[in-house]
Structure formats: C-alpha cells, structure tokens
Structure 1
Amino acid sequence: MRTIWAVAFATCLAIFLVCFTTPAQAQQKRREGLTLSEKVQQLTEMSAKRSILRFNGHKFKDFVRSTPRNYSMIVMFTALASQRQCVICRHAHDEFVIVANSFRYSQHHSNKMFFAMVDFDEGPDVFTSLNMNTAPVFMHFPAKGKPKHSDTMDIQRVGFAAESIAKWITERTDISIRVFRPPNYSGTVAVAMLFAFVAGFLYLKRNNLDFLYNKTLWAFAAIVFTLAMTSGQMWNHIRGPPFVHKTQSGGVAYIHGSSQGQLVLETYIIIILNAAILLGMILVTEAASQKGDVRKRRILAIVGMAIFTVFFSLVLSIFRNKAHGYPYSFLFK
C-alpha cells in the first residue's frame, strides 16, 4: 500500500515539475535573452539564406540592442511600403543590396559583421526608440559600446551609392568590401543597334556619301558627344539614378546634394549650361576672327563674354554645393 502511495506521489511531483518548473525556466530564459553563441549561430544561418536580414522590433532588440555581442551590425532604416511613396528609399535599398551581396561573396566574409534592415511599417517602435523621423538612414552598431555620431552615415554629404556605403563601412569596421555590380547589357545592345542603323544608312546612301566630308556635321557630332560625356551620361548609365528625389523637408530636389551622386534631370541641366558656355566661347571667337563692322564685333564679343560668365558661374555654383568645402565662387554662391 505504501508503495502505491509512493509511486502516486512521485508521479504527481513529476507532473508538477513539468507543468510549472519548465515554463518558469523558459520565461526566465526569455528575460535573460539569447546567449552569444546562439545569436551568432542564428545570424549565420539567416545570412546564409539572404544577405540582408529583415528585423522587426523584437529581433532588433535581440540581435542589435542587447548584449553580449561580438559582431558589428550595419542596419538600414527605411520605408519601402508603396503608400509611403519613398522613391529614394527604393534606390538606396538597391545600393545596400549590392554592398551586402558583395560582402557575402568576398574573401573577407565572416561572422564579425551582418547586414540588416528595419522597415518603418514592420518596426515602428525601433524608429521611436532611436528618435528617428526620416528614411533612409544607415547606422553602424559596433561590437562593443553604443553607436557614436560618426556611426550614422551622412548621405546628404557623401550620397548612398554602393561605393560610398562600402567606404563608410570600411572606415567604421576596418573590413574592406569590393563592390561588384550586376552586369548591365542594355548599353551594349543600344550601341549594337546604333551601329546597325548607321551601317544600314550608309549602305542606302552608298552612291552619295559627300555628307561624310562635311566639316560642320562632324564638328556638331563631336560637340554633342563631348557635352554628353562631360554632363554625366555614363554615370547615369552605370548607376541608374532616379529622375528627381524628395528632400527631407518634403520638397523636390533637382540637384543631388553630394558629389557622389547625380540625378537624371541634373544631367540635362548640366548639358544646357555647358552648351551655353560653349555658345559664349563661339561668339567671342567669331567676334575676334570676323572682319567687318567693329561695333557689331564688339557687341558680339560682349554678349559672348556675358553668356560665358553667367553660365560658368552657375556651373561653378552647382559644383560648390555638391563638393562641400570648395572655397571658390563667382557671381553666385
């Protein structure tokens, strides 16, 4: 009889321990958080599936804010939802993906640094805790200590191109990242089509090719090519920037605020300004080389110099606003 009661008592005690002790231990473990080895293991497993980890408030707290931590976190705070209408966020995200993929397949890849992203609609509490009211923002969370002011990337000054992000990461972590951009064959196809069109045109006009000896035509083609190259057309072809983008105050920016970036509309503006400068130089040259009424030549030279001065000052002003710290200006600041 005593044996039966002993067995029953032991069974009840075991059930009690399973039902009450295990949840208490699990709750205590949740309060204590993940261990360092568990964090690194989970981050490594997640980063093996995707180069950029998507964090909500809980994951951000577990892997970024809480200690212990022996790894650096490069976090992009953004707002990619369509209702947010953040065009610059999508462009910055594409550049961030290029950097993360470049690090993932580089020889310097290790578990000492991870890339993550927090979207406003997935982790609004993170934005609130960091007193953040704008996007996109790139922050570095070091392995030890709290982020400093320099751990926030100044995209207004250096832009958010993949090369700029990689350089900033190297400065903060001493980990060098060589950026590898995916190949873009659209330019090659366009050049091939252009050559095919020109070859077909020359074939149709094979009996009348006198226009090939027209110096004015070749000079005009050379000017157009030079204006296109000096305005940043190749930059746009490589980087694929937006046409315009919104500023932090809600306005529209037509000129990029950094020498590391350029907008499509900005390219057209530079073409027009350079063409006006060229026109002024042509007028001055023609006034000096022509023969005839001195008064007309003088007026032509004055108009040419005025056009050259005004538009060159505008180009210098744009360069001064993009290359912060440039000391020289003329007519316009």
Structure 2
Amino acid sequence: MRRKTFCGFLLLLVFYIADAQSRTKNVEEKIQQLTDMTTKQSIVSLNMNKFKEYVRSPPRDYSFIVMFTAMAPSRRCTICQHVYDEYLIVANSFRYSQGFNNKLFFGMVDFDEGSDIFQMLRLNTAPVIMHFPAKGKPKPADSMDFERAGIAAEAIAKWIQDRTDNQIRIFRPPNYSGALAITLLCVLVGGFLYVRRNNLEFLYNKQMWAVAALFFCFAMVSGQMWNQIRGPPFFHKGKSGPVYINGGSHGQFILESYIVAMLNCAVVVGMILMIEAAGGAKGTEVNRAQDGKRRRFQSIVGLVLVCVFFSLLLSVFRTKTQGYPYSFLFK
C-alpha cells in the first residue's frame, strides 16, 4: 500500500515538473517571438489568432498594452490618429530606453482587421487603450480614461507606470517648427522696428497695448496653455454628428477653446460699450442730444452683448459641469 502511494506521488511530482518545464518553455518561446517582432516594429499588429496566442492565452508572465482603434479613413475617427501618434511615441520610447525589458509589450488592433476582437471584448467605441496583466483578467482601471488623463504620450506613460510599474521616459522626435516660427517672428518684428526706427510713437499707444493684453487674457482663460500641454483633438465626431464641447470637466477640444475665447471677447466688448456710453455728452445742445441718442443705443447694444454671450458662457459651463443648477437666458 505504501509502495503504491509512493509511486503515485512520484508520478504526480514528475508530471508537475514536466508541466512546469513545458509552461516555462512556452512562455520563453512567446517572449522570444514577441521580442523578434518588436525589434522590427515597436507596436505588434494583432489579429484574432495573435491576440489569443500572445494576449489572452496562458502561460504568460508579461503585461500587454493594446490599443484598439479604427484608422481607416472611411471610419472618420479623427482622434484615432492623434492617439496613435502619441501611443507610438510611448512604444518607441520604451523600446529604445535603458529600462527596456521583456515584461511589457505594445500591440494594436484595428477594427477593420480585428472586428471579432472588438465583439469578443464588447467594445463599441475607439480608440481604447487597455492593459492586459500577466495574471488575471483586466479590471476597469486597466482601461485608460482619456477624458481624465488626456491623450499625450506623457499621460499614457504615467498610466502604464501605474499599472505595470514600468517607468517610461518619453523621447519625442525633434520638431523645429516652433523654433523656426519664433525666429521668423523675431526677424519680422526686428525688421519692422528697423524700418520704423525714426517713428516709434506707436509703441506708446495705450489702446494697442490694451488690445494685446486682452487677447493674451482671452488665450489663457480659454485654455490654450492646456491645449499645448495635453494635445487634445480639434473636435470629436460622434454617432449623432460632430461634438464641439467636451462633456467632461477634465477635458476640452481645441475648437472649444476658440469658442470660449470668442464668447469672452464678446462679453468684454459689451462691457466696454456700456462703460464708454456712461461718459457725459459734450458740445452744443444739438450735439449733446445726438450724442445722448448714440450713447443710449451704444449702452443697449453693450447690455445685449453682455447678457447674450454671458448666458452662452454659462451654458457651456453647465454642459461641462453636470448638475450645475443656475442658468440665465439659455439652458
């Protein structure tokens, strides 16, 4: 009896060791194949077979970051290209960094080449970036929230670090367009000042500096600096048509910032008209009467501008801040 028990235990141990060796060998083969593929291209293009083999099927001791997108022009997904460009920067930065290892790989599934994968994961939108951990199934936090974090490569790298503990230092390709534009602007301004070197009274024009200060304020208040940092899309094309106002308080579109800047500009113009209309009339009695009518008309136009465009600004704020109870002329 003891001999049978010992033999059974020995067979079980041999089977366990053989299975462990087989699993280790399979994992090593997968890692070697993925490493060979990422040597040619940082992002592995996945179809259904590759997705099941490398992402879903065990054994696996590596994490996989997969972007689900729809890059075909017929899909009209403008944001997909922007997100892919930033995602590619992250993958290339990891591939050529000193912290590169075989515990993290990047993949991509295009809807036209892997619609069955979208159906399997019940995805009905794009783009989506998901983390498939080495053990277990993806959790809700393993899907990146673009609205909260943004779509910039730095934001994607930080999210990956939170999910996988892999720190990725972003290396962007050199872009000399900004430096060239600043240099060209300095040359033009310098040339203009040189041509007008004997007539620089315009530099003391208060109205010119006031208008420049207002435009600077409009740009900052509307979120242009946020656009430069986060790199949002120009606008979004939804199922019911184009969307110009981002519905969340943690994001915005580039066109949205332009709209907010124009609304603020209209409100300020209305306030300036009312302030100018409040000044006293001068001259003869006839001129004062005509000037009074003009000022009354000017004050009414200014009041209408302030009321209408401030109401539109408040409507934009209500759209982005769900549950805000106050409105003025428009809901």
- Shorter-chain TM range is 0.7 to 0.9
Other structure's SS at 2:130 match: strand
Match of 2:198?
207
Match of 2:69?
78
The farther-off stretch of 208-217 and 149-158 is 149-158
Q: Is the 8 A contact 2:46 2:109 kept in 1?
A: yes
Q: Per-residue deviation at 1:196?
A: 1.6
Sort the Cα spacing of 1:97 and 1:286 in 2 relative to 1 into closer, same or farther, 3 A.
same
Sort the Cα spacing of 1:124 and 1:172 in 2 relative to 1 into closer, same or farther, 3 A.
same
Match of 2:122?
131
Determine the C-alpha separation between the residues in 2 that align with 1:175 and 1:329.
45
Q: Is the 8 A contact 1:159 1:257 kept in 2?
A: no
Sort the Cα spacing of 1:109 and 1:326 in 2 relative to 1 into closer, same or farther, 3 A.
farther
Determine the C-alpha separation between the residues in 2 that align with 1:282 and 1:228.
19
Match of 1:15?
none
Deviations 1:91-130 (A, max 9, x none): 1111211222233344543222211101122222212222
Q: Is the 8 A contact 1:80 1:89 kept in 2?
A: yes
TM-score (structure 2 length as normaliser) = 0.76
1:42 paired with 2:33, answer: yes
Q: Per-residue deviation at 1:154?
A: 3.0
Q: Is the 8 A contact 1:52 1:117 kept in 2?
A: yes
1:74-153 correspondence runs (5 A): 74-153=65-144
Match of 1:315?
313
Sort the Cα spacing of 1:107 and 1:239 in 2 relative to 1 into closer, same or farther, 3 A.
same
Q: Per-residue deviation at 1:276?
A: 2.0
Deviations 1:170-203 (A, max 9, x none): 3333334344433432122122222222222222
Determine the C-alpha separation between the residues in 1 that align with 2:304 and 2:173.
46
Which of 227, 237, 240 aligns to 1:246? It is 237
| Ranges in structure 2 where 5+ consecutive residues have no aligned partner | 1-22, 282-287
Letter in 1 for 2:265: A
Q: Per-residue deviation at 1:137?
A: 1.4
1:272 paired with 2:262, answer: yes
Q: Per-residue deviation at 1:264?
A: 3.0
Match of 2:8?
none
Match of 2:12?
none
The farther-off stretch of 54-63 and 76-85 is 76-85
Other structure's SS at 1:35 match: helix
Q: Is the 8 A contact 1:187 1:237 kept in 2?
A: no
Q: Is the 8 A contact 2:245 2:253 kept in 1?
A: yes
Match of 1:222?
213
1:51 paired with 2:42, answer: yes
Deviations 1:292-324 (A, max 9, x none): 5999989877865664455345435434544x6
Determine the C-alpha separation between the residues in 2 that align with 1:56 and 1:181.
28
Q: Per-residue deviation at 1:55?
A: 1.0
Sort the Cα spacing of 1:157 and 1:239 in 2 relative to 1 into closer, same or farther, 3 A.
closer
Determine the C-alpha separation between the residues in 2 that align with 1:147 and 1:161.
23
Q: Kindly tell me the number of residue pairs found equivalent between the two proteins.
A: 299
Determine the C-alpha separation between the residues in 1 that align with 2:29 and 2:228.
44
Letter in 1 for 2:260: I
Q: Is the 8 A contact 2:151 2:231 kept in 1?
A: no
